[in-house]
């Protein structure tokens, strides 16, 4: 009977790329673990953000009322995942603060595998690339928050790793087996975040370039179709209508008869936004907030009444949006690109999130406004139902145990340094940031060069298809979503790989020259 060590050696001898990936990922694993442990040392509870309540609603309903219901915006996997986590000893927020960073750390291995798999100069690239990936502040933070996006970020890297393994396999039977390493994380993210529907054109494009029909059988195609259909059942279609109109709002066609009575009430606002169109992406939140729920606005009574009829609100928003888009498609695309470039710098994640009292201060506001039901907070913090509800001071001491933490100050300095060195787009300062004044930094130009190079052999089937597909997905995302760093975060693995192509390409040329000589 063979020993575990000999079994492991035989396994790695059959999979040398995986062996190299694991060994060379060790420095990044250590670095990433240290950063996450430092954050945990002064912030032991996962952050309860503005979206956490909606994700936690399923768990709250089951444990308090034995009521099983998934919000259409929050289907499926993450709310379900939170239920067993909440049943663990202690509190849900403490458990999440450990589980999600661990899941994030594990993705360093598939990222290292990607580097080992596709780059000739992998020995030069793998340690710095995996270290940059492990130290990304945006990943570290969202792993520390009760939010589904961290599953998207982690699943994206596993999906890319599975793709690299599958697309590089010549034997059909082996390729069919490796396909599931791509499909499984794809299914997880598709059933976790409704926004993944924007990824599907890119996924289908990648399958087309890879000539997937030569390899996949009916089982693979059926599984893919099932996830595609279920994924499109997620999300709120009504919300999508007014989000689309939020982008098209400045070019509402005020002189046409369609829904003229509604246009008349907002004409002054439309003209004001149109006059500041170059900075609209920075200022559109107030429009989005209004379209989300006009409330009892007496100055716009028709819109106030419209807000009470969800279906009609969606229909009017969709009609006005499409009319505006058809009239000015150039401005519609420009606003989306403005949001995209306004969200792509590491510094777009506020560094103050890593301050010792960040969670405590925001939780105090939540408690004062009674935004979260008491019974939900009891589950999140592990407070027994019969125990007195803690005071604001007690919550503060739990979430900010070391208010003068030197570790926190170091983390803030680290995040600032990473963000400054990783700037891709130079933007004007001041209240009004005109899109026409945006400029690429030297790193941004290097990224553009690498992204273009990725679209040609030998990188097209590996990195190139995802550069094209994910860039399109990001633009689509920002055409309906506000400017936000979290929406861009799935692109960071692609960004790092595209930057690495700029270094790897000369190495390939040099090696080819040496062979000829």
Q: What is the pLDDT of residues 136-162, one digit of tens each?
A: 999 999 999 999 999 999 999 999 999
| Mean pLDDT, residues 77-104 | 95
73 pLDDT exceeds 90?
no
Distance CA 249, CA 245 (A): 6
pLDDT-derived band at 6 (thresholds 50, 70, 90) equals: confident
All residues at 6 or more sequence positions from 57 whose CB lies less than 8 Å from its CB, including other chains: 69, 71, 74, 79, 376
- What are the backbone angles phi and psi of residue 391, rounded to the nearest 5°? -80, 170
185 pLDDT exceeds 80?
yes
Distance CA 427, CA 441 (A): 10
All residues at 6 or more sequence positions from 229 whose CB lies less than 8 Å from its CB, including other chains: none
What is the structure's pLDDT at 62?
93
- What are the backbone angles phi and psi of residue 388, rounded to the nearest 5°? -60, 145
Q: What's 416-483 look like in SS3?
A: HHHHHHCCCEECCCCCCCCHHHCEECHHHHHHHHHHHHHCCCCCHHHHHHHHHHHHHHHHHHHHHCCC
DSSP structure class, residue 389:
P
E strands along 265-390, which residues?
none
What is the structure's pLDDT at 239?
78
CA 446 to chain centre: 23
281 touches 209 (CB < 8 A):
no
| Mean pLDDT, residues 181-189 | 96
Minimum mean pLDDT range among 47-51, 107-111, 280-284, 449-453: 280-284
pLDDT-derived band at 198 (thresholds 50, 70, 90) equals: very high
| Mean pLDDT, residues 381-393 | 93
Distance CA 297, CA 121 (A): 61
* 76 cis-preceded (ω within 30 degrees of 0): yes
Q: Would you call 168 helix, strand, or coil by DSSP?
A: coil
463 pLDDT exceeds 90?
yes
**Mean pLDDT in the chain?**
92
What is the structure's pLDDT at 295?
75
What is the structure's pLDDT at 118?
95
What is the structure's pLDDT at 431?
57
| Mean pLDDT, residues 454-465 | 95
Q: Closest by alpha carbon to 34, among 134, 113, 112?
A: 134
Long-range contacts of 364-371 (CB under 8 A, 24+ apart): 364/392, 364/395, 364/396, 366/48, 367/392, 367/395, 368/392, 371/53
Using the structure block, give the residue that is written with the tokens 């935004």.
371
pLDDT digits (tens, 9 = 90+) for 222-280: 999 999 998 887 766 667 888 899 999 999 999 999 999 999 999 999 999 999 888 88
């Amino acid at each position: 009977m063979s020993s575990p060590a000999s079994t492991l050696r035989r396994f790695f001898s059959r999979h040398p790329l995986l062996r190299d990936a694991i060994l060379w990922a060790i420095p990044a694993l250590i670095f990433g673990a240290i950063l996450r442990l430092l954050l945990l040392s002064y912030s032991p509870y996962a952050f309860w953000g503005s979206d956490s309540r909606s994700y936690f609603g399923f768990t709250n309903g089951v444990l308090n009322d034995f009521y099983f219901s998934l919000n259409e915006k929050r289907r499926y996997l993450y709310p379900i995942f939170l239920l067993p986590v909440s049943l663990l000893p202690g509190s849900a927020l403490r458990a999440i603060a450990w589980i999600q960073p661990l899941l994030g750390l594990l993705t360093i291995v598939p990222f290292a595998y990607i580097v080992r798999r596709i780059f000739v100069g992998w020995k030069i690239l793998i340690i710095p690339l995996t270290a940059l990936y492990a130290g990304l502040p945006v990943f570290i933070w969202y792993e520390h928050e009760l939010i589904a996006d961290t599953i998207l970020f982690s699943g994206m890297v596993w999906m890319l790793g599975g793709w690299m393994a599958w697309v590089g396999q010549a034997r059909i039977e082996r390729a069919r087996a490796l396909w599931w390493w791509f499909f499984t994380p794809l299914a997880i993210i598709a059933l976790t975040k409704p926004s993944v529907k924007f990824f599907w054109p890119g996924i289908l494009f990648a399958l087309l370039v890879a000539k997937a029909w030569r390899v996949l059988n009916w089982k693979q195609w059926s599984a893919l179709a099932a996830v595609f259909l279920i994924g499109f059942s997620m999300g709120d279609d009504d919300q999508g209508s007014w989000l689309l109109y939020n982008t098209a709002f400045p070019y509402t066609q005020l002189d046409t008869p369609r829904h003229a009575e509604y246009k008349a009430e907002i004409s002054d606002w439309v003209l004001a936004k149109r006059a500041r169109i170059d900075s609209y992406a920075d200022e559109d939140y107030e429009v989005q907030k209004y379209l989300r729920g006009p409330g009892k606005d007496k100055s716009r009574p028709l819109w106030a009444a419209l807000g009470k009829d969800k279906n009609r609100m969606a229909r009017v928003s969709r009609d006005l949006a499409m009319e505006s888009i058809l009239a000015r498609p150039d401005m519609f695309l420009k606003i989306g690109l403005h949001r995209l470039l306004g969200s792509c710098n590491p510094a777009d994640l506020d560094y103050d999130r890593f301050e010792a009292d960040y969670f405590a201060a925001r939780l105090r506001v939540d408690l004062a406004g009674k935004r979260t039901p008491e019974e939900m907070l009891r589950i999140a913090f592990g407070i027994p139902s019969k125990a007195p509800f803690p005071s604001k001071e007690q919550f503060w001491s739990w979430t900010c145990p070391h208010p003068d933490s030197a570790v926190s100050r170091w983390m803030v300095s680290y995040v600032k340094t990473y963000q400054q060195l990783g700037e891709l787009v130079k933007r004007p300062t001041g209240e009004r940031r005109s899109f026409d004044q945006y400029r690429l930094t030297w790193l941004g130009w290097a990224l553009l060069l690498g992204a273009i190079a990725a679209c040609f052999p030998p990188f097209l089937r590996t990195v190139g298809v995802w550069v094209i597909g994910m860039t399109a997905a990001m633009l689509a995302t920002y055409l309906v979503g506000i400017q936000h760093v979290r929406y861009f975060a799935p692109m960071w693995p692609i960004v790092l790989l595209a930057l690495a192509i700029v270094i790897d390409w000369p190495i390939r040329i040099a090696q080819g020259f040496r062979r000829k000589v």
